[in-house]
Structure 1
């Protein structure tokens, strides 16, 4: 699995009017024709991307975010998050403000990415796309659903799925069909987000916000295998997290009191935890040590993005004003450390798709084994009818019958468990028309096999039924074989008693296999419950 570094960009905003009026000096500059910035007189930092005061929203998006959108369509998870002090331009860059009042050229990363995602979807008619969005706010270390405000904060929980990815249980995910629907939900969530006025920022974000676009894609083009069967369609699930962090604040500059002061404490606490995670991941000497993801909600949510399986871009926004020199220097230091963080991106195939493929392959093997077993039983029956004077041949025949007894019962249990699992799976997992048709064909095949086995058992055992099972039929057959052998060869009782003990031992082994299969069935049902909770 290839490791890639977190990409880090630095964007320097222009001086504000009030800063220019107070004769603030520019302390952060871009070194021309390079990806370097200089702060103060001689502190130089190198980054993947550097944007000066004259950079445009379009330039930032095309350089940093467009490759992430392409990776999202390919099946990779992606994250972009804006980092920096309050009033440095994070929300403006990420596009988390009031979108309706923003002109086209001023739109941020999120609106542009939404448009391009749906443009890419329209260019892939051979793929079924299912798009969902969610919008979560971390306000004073509590999770809040911005798309369903009635949801209690206590109903949202951070968990890890079976692959170790971070998920929010209880968050509302809205199915969307167009870019316009996504923009409406984004606007609604932005309006519900906590904002406030401070001395440094008239529209200060008082919370961290994560806007997530989830894409499930099913490749409809199926390919034929060598044996004439068909491969199942590929299911790929990928997510794009857009993270707008609240800015770090100094109370002496913001003038916060009361509730604003409490908010500042929580904001700085979360950003401190994030800084500690970045420092731990970015220090080669501490890679094997504990990474403090659990120190704050925001770091738990960014676990996949920092040191995980996502492709990540960190955009550090800094103020050029000399009055913010210390805050800008700290932001650049953290950004420089983040360049040492390495992720291991992987394409996210759906676990439901993997299970269906595994079950179909197992069913194919079981069907072949069942046919082979039936052929073996028929051959054995014919040999028994003809009889043989050879004692060794009879012994071999008895062993073969006993072995087939255990195999037949084991295969029957496996097929029944697979049948039950696929019936439940059919009702819980969305299948396309081809998959449903293929599954129904398998159900019909099972019914035919059951009828064939029932007929076979009746032919062998007379009044034996399918419910009595192959075990009963085989015992009857063994008794008849023993009687024939006694009449023809007059074998002594010791040999037959020994064979009966072997049969009992095989029965015990069969019972152990049945218990083991029941254990597998319980595991399958537990996996179903997990899938239902995630869906």
Structure 2
């Protein structure tokens, strides 16, 4: 009975040993698989409601319909005016928030859990995406009466750490995930900057109080943190924008009338994480102070009115919250540094619809290119995960993607809030946005493996972890081999009662031996792999040291060249200024002499023109006097002729009356004579006499008529008067024309003087421009020289980086 119990115990031990070997085999197989958990990029969809103007225009054509809480259907518009390429209904699966969704509901369903993760030590990224006028800034900031995700996140953070805020400034975040300790002088500088910054918030204090009161009227949100009593939290915030591919600090205090803010540089730490150099971080103790920073940054941000949006963001804004968990406030010790990064991306635009020009067109081009590169990075990540092949992800082609590279490569959690506009005229843009977000939703992050392929600087950490695991597994193998030997000894010592049991035990032992051999082979492979990695690490370290030496040499050369170029620039500038001053003085003297000559000529011309005007006036006066005398003479002659003609008429009328009387008498005599005459001869004689008398009377009448024609002389005189008046008018006209010509000459002379003055000014401006151009040319040449030196240095560094990347890829393979 005792013998049977021993064999049963032996069999159970063998089964346990077999299970341990299987577990070890699974552990070794996990070395070549992904070391982290897959986590998909979280995508949420928000639909903007219609405005009153859009409803009047007939934009509501049921293009966007919510079929379920996680499905949205996009239909093509019925209006023929809308350019429609696709003519089929398309459905997309997201967590959908409709037009009736409140800001609080959206925050609770999307960002609140990420805020909790940030408080617990995990870095998170939240960014809004969509076309222009889709409601991104409303979702991000919101109005004072209805706050967006950023103010609500600040409210949750400070409600959660109530009574546990570290108010000191002795510890400050540094670079990406690091921190630095500040001296007393540095703390005083931070306090002064914060005080000066908050002085600018006097104008917006009313809106800050109203928004905070609206948030406090709602139920106070907070997260229960499982922390010790001596744990404190230090909160630092920053606010920047990416405008035209330049990074600007929105908290930078610039004097009034100064140009645009200085452009900041994007750098990398030793681990390859991107950070913004010289970006201002402000320590905040309450949600009110943090909201002051938000308001100041929003005031300095680039906004402008376009055809589609009255208040359009012209830059990508990034608000970062760094939370430092500090243990033991008396002797501060930082345990974790987490970051909540909130990005409001500018909307993509179509120039055909916005009709932007000039600066607005340039801004739209830069916005569209950065969003296009973001789409390329998302597509490359998705393709890389589908094919499981190494592929370049173009993060460095844009400042936005370069800065957010760490979040997409496993540094923390990422959330995208997609905003769409359900207008029929925006159907094409809405479809492209939904397609992009559908691709982004399928992207997942393998926290360690993907991060290592993108960052070759983490090889050392990978080697350390693998070496520790191999050591642990080797220890486990030693213990297992010892157990196996003891079991063998026990088997040899025992006597098996039956041949069947003995054969079973032999088979089990053979299986265990084969498994042990496999495990040994895997161990030898792992050790050889570790040795290769160590060699590669030593080579990488040597190359890094060489790169550092090369960079130091290049920096020394650059410093020397900068010093020499500065001296040369100063010499060149002094020479150019002296030469330009001498040329300017000579030209000034020449121009003064020319001006004096022109003044003398103008004075002579004016005197001559005045003399001519006087001479003409004298002539005109003489002509006027002559005309007046002639007119008086003609009037006298006309009056005399009139008197004589009137006397002659009177005489003629008297003579005619006398003749008439004589004719009457003759007729009476003739009648008497006719009555007295009886013969024909007398009648003929009388007839001839009468005819002669009639002829005589006709001659008399013709003379009288000739005299009467003298009356027409008056008309002739009148015509002569009119001709004289016309001549006088012509003379007046000629004098006026002459005066006008003289005035014209005077004006032309004045214009010549003005043109000469303008020429002098233009010459002076030209000289100034030539001075500026000479200075610019000297600076440009110096910049080109520096660029060439930097290009040579960058090429050397790029070659080294390429070699390092190749070796990292070989190692990863």
**TM-score category (smaller protein):** 0.5 to 0.7
Change (3 A) 1:152 1:172: farther
Tell me if the contact between 1:7 and 1:313 (Cα under 8 Å) persists in the aligned partners.
Answer: yes
State whether residues 233 and 324 of structure 2, in contact with CA within 8 Å, keep that contact through their aligned partners in structure 1: yes
Aligned to 1:171: 279
Aligned to 1:55: 101
Question: Partners of 2:410 and 2:265 in 1: how far apart?
Answer: 20
Specify whether residues 297 and 290 from structure 1 end up closer, same or farther in structure 2 by C-alpha distance, changes over 3 A only: same
Tell whether the 8 Å contact from 1:77 to 1:311 is kept in structure 2 after alignment.
Answer: yes
Q: Identify the residue that residue 465 of structure 1 maps to in structure 2.
A: none
| Candidates 373, 381, 390, aligned match of 1:273 | 373
Q: 1:255, CA displacement in angstroms?
A: 1.8
Show the counterpart of 2:138.
92
Between Structure 1 and Structure 2, the one with more helix by share is: 2
Equivalent residue for 2:410, pick from 287, 302, 308: 308
Match of 2:424 among 322, 336, 339: 322
User: CA offsets per residue over residues 82-138 of structure 1, 9 Å max, x none?
Assistant: 00000000000011x6x5xx21xx210000000000111116553121111111100
Instruction: For 2:432 and 2:105, locate their aligned partners in 1 and report how far apart those are by CA, in whole Å.
Output: 25
* Residues 11 and 28 of structure 1, relative CA distance in 2, 3 Å threshold: farther
Question: Partners in 2 of 1:163 and 1:68 — Cα distance?
Answer: 25
Please state if 1:191 is matched with 2:316. no
2-structure distance, mates of 1:287, 1:203: 44
Q: Per-residue deviation at 1:42?
A: 2.2
Other-structure match for 1:22: 57
State how far apart, in whole Å, the 2-side matches of 1:337 and 1:6 are: 10
TM-score normalised by length of structure 1? 0.59
CA shift, 1:308, in A, is 2.9
Is contact 2:326-2:332 (8 Å) kept? Answer: no
Structure 1 spans left out of the alignment, 5+ residues = 223-230, 347-535
**1:322 CA displacement:** 1.1
Which residue of structure 1 aligns with residue 156 of structure 2? 116
Q: 1:296 to 1:84 in 2, by over 3 A?
A: same
Alignment counterpart, residue 127 of structure 1, candidates 231, 235, 258? 231
Equivalent residue for 1:79, pick from 122, 125, 133: 125
Tell me if the contact between 1:19 and 1:321 (Cα under 8 Å) persists in the aligned partners: yes
Tell me which residue corresponds to 1:138.
242
1:56 shift after superposition = 0.9
SS of residue matched to 2:325: strand
Q: Which residue of 1 aligns with 2:755?
A: none
CA distances 1:280-302 after superposition (whole Å, capped 9, x unpaired): 11232376200010111111111
Corresponding residue SS for 1:31: strand
Q: How many Å apart are 1:145 and its aligned residue? A: 0.2
Q: State the distance in 2 between where 1:155 and 1:202 align.
A: 27
CA contact (8 A) 1:12 1:318 kept: yes
CA, structure 1 residues 221+202, in 2 after alignment: closer, same or farther (shift >3 Å)? closer
SS of the equivalent of 2:317 reads strand
Residues in 2 aligned to 1:133 and 1:232: alpha-carbon distance in whole angstroms: 20
1:239 aligns with one of 339, 364, 368? 339
CA distance in 2 between partners of 1:44 and 1:204 (Å): 29
Q: Distance in 1 between matches of 2:136 and 2:417?
A: 8
Contact 2:140/2:149 (8 A) holds in 1 = yes
Unmatched 5+ residue regions in structure 2?
1-35, 76-87, 165-228, 449-813
Deviations 1:462-491 (Å, cap 9, x if unpaired)? xxxxxxxxxxxxxxxxxxxxxxxxxxxxxx
Alignment of 1:326-475 (within 5 A): 326-344=428-446
CA–CA separation in structure 2 for the residues paired with 1:333 and 1:22: 27
- Aligned position for 1:398: none
Deviation (angstroms), 1:26: 3.8
Q: Give the C-alpha shift of residue 15 in structure 1.
A: 1.5
Structure 2: distance between partners of 1:8 and 1:147: 30
Ranked by relative contact order (alpha carbons within 8 Å, sequence separation 6 or more), the top structure is: 1
Shift of 1:25: 2.9
- Rounded to whole Å, the distance in 2 between the matches of 1:242 and 1:28 is 30
Q: What is the Cα deviation at residue 2 of structure 1?
A: 2.1
Name the SS for the 1:200 alignment partner: coil
Structure 1 residues 420-472: Cα deviation after superposition (integer angstroms, max 9, x where no partner) = xxxxxxxxxxxxxxxxxxxxxxxxxxxxxxxxxxxxxxxxxxxxxxxxxxxxx
Return the structure number with greater strand share.
1
TM-score between the two structures when normalised by the length of structure 2: 0.39
1:141 Cα shift? 0.5
State the SS of the aligned residue for 2:321: strand
Of 89, 93, 96, the residue aligned with 1:46 is 93
C-alpha contact (below 8 Å) 1:137/1:210 kept by paired residues: yes
Taking a change above 3 Å as real, the CA distance of residues 287 and 340 of structure 1, as seen in their structure-2 partners, is farther
Rg larger in 1 or in 2?
Answer: 2
- Please tell me whether the aligned partners of residues 126 and 342 of structure 2 are also in contact (alpha carbons under 8 angstroms): yes
Q: Is the 8 A contact 2:349 2:368 kept in 1?
A: yes
For 1:252 and 1:111, how far apart are their aligned partners in 2?
35
What is the distance in 1 between the residues matched to 2:305 and 2:389? 40
Distance 1:30 1:138 in 2: 34
Separation in structure 2 between the aligned mates of residue 135 and residue 198 of structure 1, nearest angstrom: 24
SS of aligned partner of 1:261: helix
In structure 2, the residue corresponding to 1:131 is in which secondary structure? strand
SS at match of 1:304: helix
- Tell me if the contact between 1:282 and 1:339 (Cα under 8 Å) persists in the aligned partners: no
Q: Superposition RMSD on alpha carbons, in Å?
A: 2.3
| 1:343-380 Cα distance to aligned partner (Å, 9 max, x none) | 3569xxxxxxxxxxxxxxxxxxxxxxxxxxxxxxxxxx
Contact 1:128 1:217 in 2 (8 A): yes
Q: Write the distance in 2 (CA, Å) between the matches of 1:232 and 1:202.
A: 49
CA distance in 2, matches of 1:275, 1:335: 9
Check if 1:292 corresponds to 2:394.
yes
Q: For the Cα contact (< 8 Å) 1:83–1:90, is it kept in 2?
A: yes
Q: CA deviation at 1:28?
A: 4.2
The corresponding residue for 1:70 is 116
SS at match of 2:132: coil
Conserved 8 A contact 1:197-1:203 = yes
Q: 2:288 aligns with which of 168, 174, 180?
A: 180
Contact 2:64 2:72 in 1 (8 A): yes
